[in-house]
């Protein structure tokens, strides 16, 4: 384990602390043509391509929400909408892995400083995967830490990651009642990767399952999730006191994967408009762009995508303003963030469906420009953060006076 001073010097040798939001966004935008060119190969590989990861690392974008202390950009929180959304215009799978790696770095900043030293002291660019479903992991307290077991699916980017975070419901004793919720950092040698990622879409994320059996996790590597409800109760607060790390994580987390759905929908709109401008009907040779019905459908899809983006940006800007003011939003506001994330992605999916329908029979061919994007849209929308039935009803029940039973909010 490195001394903090040594780690800081090591990070500064390849530092991105001076990169502004505008510069970071320009770097992401410049990668879009390359990501589009590689998207089919990424899907075939079922993992982020090594050359793509290397270029993201070189750009510094993976550190956009890493603390400056470790050579990161520590950009304002709303950047979490713009940067991964831009990358998703090129490849939704790459964007999905990107926001996982980048935002897990943001999350690592909230862990005990010893965990930060253990990982970033070796390599500040260390990618970290995660199994985040608490029902899939369980653990019990032991002297100095926890012993956890479980089978987690959807471990996006796990093949590239020497560490993963595993969510576990903790008990004081085996088979006892739940007493705690922990996010546990575990090195690659201590968990198994299961190659079960044969799926309809988002294939390039490599979101394989992971399995652990009775692994000991020291307490400094087991983050208490109830400390991430906003404010500065988390263990890393003294080291990383900036407002970026005071945003309520669980409440706003749905917007991380939501950016991939948003950027993907923007790409579908862009590619559809490009194709319609030059396309004619098969029998009458009338230009498709001259049909008012098509004009209206394109306009409606664009309005839904713009509305989704506006909702996402507004909520993240509000969460950032509250964090800067050291204000913790109330539970109803937090539930509204979760509701709105699901609604925004629903709008994006509706827009993609409407635009894909304009292809008619041509839309079933793999070479059609948005066929893969259509599959990616529906695969991304299956994430539990985007179930409007779940998150809409939770907000509605609370708004109508019901009890909120979520200790992590």
User: What CATH number has the domain bearing residue 288?
Assistant: 1.20.140.10
Give the tens place of pLDDT for each residue, 134-175: 889 999 999 999 999 999 999 999 999 999 999 999 998 777
300 pLDDT higher than 60:
yes
Checking if the pLDDT of 236 tops 80, the result is yes
Residue 236 domain-assigned?
Answer: no
Pick the more confident residue, 51 or 14.
51
Residue 395 backbone dihedrals phi, psi, to 5 degrees: -65, -45
- Other Cβ atoms within 10 Å of 74 Cβ, number: 24
Nearest of 70, 79, 76 to residue 27 by alpha carbon: 79
Task: Decide: 159 and 53 in contact? Cβ < 8 Å.
Answer: no
Last residue of a domain, one of 62, 93, 120: 120
Other beta carbons within 10 angstroms of residue 361's beta carbon come to 8
DSSP letter (8 states) at residue 135: G
State whether 115 and 132 are in the same domain: no
- Mean per-residue pLDDT, 103-122: 97
Range of the domain at 178: 128-224
Overall domain count for the chain: 3
Domain identity same for 187 and 133: yes
Q: Is there a single domain that holds both residue 279 and residue 193?
A: no
* End residue of a domain, out of 224, 257, 272: 224
Q: Are residues 31 and 138 in the same domain?
A: no
Residue 286 has pLDDT above 80, yes or no: no
Give the per-residue pLDDT at 230. 95
Q: What is the CA radius of gyration of the chain?
A: 22
Q: 392 and 302: one domain?
A: yes
What per-residue confidence (pLDDT) applies to 174?
Answer: 75
Contacts of residue 152, defined as CB under 8 A and 6 or more positions apart, other chains included, come to 131, 132, 133, 136, 137, 166, 167, 209, 210, 211
Tell me: do 133 and 116 sit in the same domain.
Answer: no
Residue 348 belongs to a domain: yes
Contact between residue 167 and residue 137 where contact means Cβ atoms under 8 Å apart = yes
| pLDDT-derived band at 12, boundaries 50, 70, 90 | very low
Q: What is the pLDDT of residue 129?
A: 97
pLDDT per residue as tens digits for the range 333-349: 999 999 999 999 999 99
- Quick one: 267 and 371 in the same domain? yes
85 and 28, same structural domain?
A: yes
Q: What average pLDDT does the chain have?
A: 93
* pLDDT tens-digit series, residues 180-205: 999 999 999 999 999 999 999 999 99
Say which residues have a Cβ less than 8 Å from residue 7's Cβ, sequence separation at least 6: 70, 117, 120, 121
| Residues 23, 98 within the same domain | yes
| Residue 177 pLDDT level (bands cut at 50, 70, 90) | confident
pLDDT digits (tens, 9 = 90+) for 65-96: 999 999 999 999 999 999 999 999 999 999 99
Asked if 98 and 134 sit in the same domain, the reply is no
pLDDT higher than 50, residue 255:
yes
Q: Is residue 18 part of a domain?
A: yes
pLDDT for 290:
80
């Amino acid at each position: 384990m490195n001394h903090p001073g040594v780690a800081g010097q090591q990070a500064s040798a390849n530092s991105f602390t001076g990169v502004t939001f505008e510069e970071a966004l320009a770097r992401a935008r410049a990668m879009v043509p390359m990501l589009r060119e590689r998207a089919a190969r990424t899907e075939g590989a079922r993992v982020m391509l090594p050359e793509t990861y290397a270029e993201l690392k070189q750009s510094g974008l993976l550190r956009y929400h890493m603390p400056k202390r470790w050579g990161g950009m520590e950009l304002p929180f709303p950047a979490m909408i713009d940067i991964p959304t831009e990358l998703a215009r090129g490849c939704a799978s790459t964007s999905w892995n990107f926001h996982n790696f980048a935002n897990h770095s943001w999350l690592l900043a909230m862990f005990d400083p010893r965990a930060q030293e253990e990982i970033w002291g070796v390599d500040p660019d260390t990618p970290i995967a995660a199994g985040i479903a608490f029902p899939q992991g369980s653990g019990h307290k032991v002297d100095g830490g926890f012993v956890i077991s479980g089978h987690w699916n959807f471990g996006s980017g796990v093949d590239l990651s020497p560490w993963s975070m595993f969510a576990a419901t903790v008990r004081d004793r085996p088979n006892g009642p739940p007493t705690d919720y922990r996010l546990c950092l575990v090195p690659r040698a201590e968990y198994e990767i299961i190659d079960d990622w044969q799926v309809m879409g988002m294939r390039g994320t490599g979101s394989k399952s992971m399995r652990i059996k009775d692994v000991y996790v020291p307490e400094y590597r087991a983050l208490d999730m109830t400390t991430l409800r906003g404010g500065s109760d988390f263990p890393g607060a003294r080291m990383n006191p900036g407002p970026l790390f005071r945003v309520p994580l669980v409440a706003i987390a749905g917007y991380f994967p939501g950016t991939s759905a948003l950027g993907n929908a923007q790409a579908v709109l862009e590619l559809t408009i490009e194709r319609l401008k030059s396309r004619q009907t098969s029998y009458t040779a009338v230009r498709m762009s001259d049909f008012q019905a098509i004009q209206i459908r394109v306009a409606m899809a664009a309005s839904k995508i713009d509305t989704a983006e506006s909702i996402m940006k507004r909520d993240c800007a509000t969460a950032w303003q509250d964090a800067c003011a050291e204000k913790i939003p109330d539970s109803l506001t937090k539930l509204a963030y979760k509701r709105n994330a699901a609604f925004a992605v629903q709008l994006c999916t509706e827009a993609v469906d409407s635009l894909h329908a304009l292809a008619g029979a041509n839309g079933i061919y793999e070479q059609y420009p948005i066929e893969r994007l259509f599959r990616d849209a529906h695969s991304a929308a299956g994430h539990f953060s985007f179930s409007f039935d779940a998150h809409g009803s939770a907000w509605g029940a609370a708004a109508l006076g019901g009890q909120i039973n979520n200790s992590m909010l």
